[in-house]
């Protein structure tokens, strides 16, 4: 039986994960790490999976420039939250 999450904690969780609110927790964590890797230009060492990259592009958090993923302004805001 699942324990209900208090309202204040739910609001805090959505603030931490926004704009990834609609994504399940495991995927949100994975996508946040991908955003951090893209920002730090570590994608040659730890490449982002094609499906995660597609998701980030569809969410407007990442653009491809010269075949390299780059954060959009919205992507920078998501990492800084």
Any idea where the domains of the chain sit in the sequence? 23-80
Confidence (pLDDT) at 2: 43
Q: What share of the chain is helix, strand, coil (3-state, %, to 5)?
A: 55, 10, 35
Confidence (pLDDT) at 14: 47
Confidence (pLDDT) at 1: 43
Question: For each successive 10 residues of the chain (81 residues), what is the average pLDDT?
Answer: 49 57 88 95 92 95 94 92 77
């Amino acid at each position: 039986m699942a324990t209900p999450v208090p309202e204040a904690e739910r609001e805090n969780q959505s603030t931490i994960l926004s704009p990834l609110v609609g994504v399940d927790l495991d995927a949100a964590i994975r996508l946040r790490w991908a955003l951090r890797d893209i920002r730090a230009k570590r994608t040659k060492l730890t490449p982002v999976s094609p499906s995660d990259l597609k998701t980030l592009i569809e969410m407007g958090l990442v653009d491809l420039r010269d075949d390299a993923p780059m954060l959009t302004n919205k992507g920078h805001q998501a990492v800084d939250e």
